[in-house]
Amino acid sequence: MNYKEIMDIISGITTSHHFVNQFGYGEISDVMTPEDTSSPNYPYVFVNPIQISSTRNTSTFNFNFICMEQTFETYKDIITAQSECITILNDIISKINLSTTYPLLEVQDGFIFTPFVERMKDNVVGASCSVNIIYSSPLDVCDKPFV
């Protein structure tokens, strides 16, 4: 399984979530804002790649998952939206971990959710989570295009 296939799985799982209206990918500067050609359709989940590391037997894909929602400025609404975003991220992580379709993928335990409030452009609130997805991929020269 390669990087594109991992991203296709994450994208497919995210876009199939009933409460997620938009999926994005890239650097943090690529997060859609109202100044873009079209405003994001919230809840919006954005995946920011961090790094990929490999050993002799596994590859570890590190991503920052970000879920955001627009809300009113009340304290209760902010906490409720952040809670919903944490739940959505938990759902996505659980689906990756517990999928019978992709049994070789595993989200490494020990992820931390960070709630946020961003008031600069479109008053979004949400949560982010750094996730390590491990894939068993032993080195194998037989599958490589060498003469």
- Domain ranges within the chain, ordered by starting residue: 3-138
CA distance 88 to 76: 18
Q: Which of 28, 41, 16, 25 is nearest to 92 (CA)?
A: 16
pLDDT for the residue 99:
79
Mean pLDDT, the chain, rounded, equals 88
Which fold, 3-138? Alpha-Beta Plaits (3.30.70)
| Residue 145, both tokens | 């295009």
pLDDT for the residue 98:
87
Q: pTM of the prediction?
A: 0.87
| Helix orientation angle between 75-98 and 3-15, rounded to the nearest 10 degrees | 130
CA distance 7 to 82: 25
| Residue 56, both tokens | 């002799």
CA distance 137 to 144: 13
| Residue 7, both tokens | 């991203």
Mean pLDDT of 55-61: 90
pLDDT for the residue 27:
94
Q: What does the DSSP 8-state code read for residue 108?
A: P
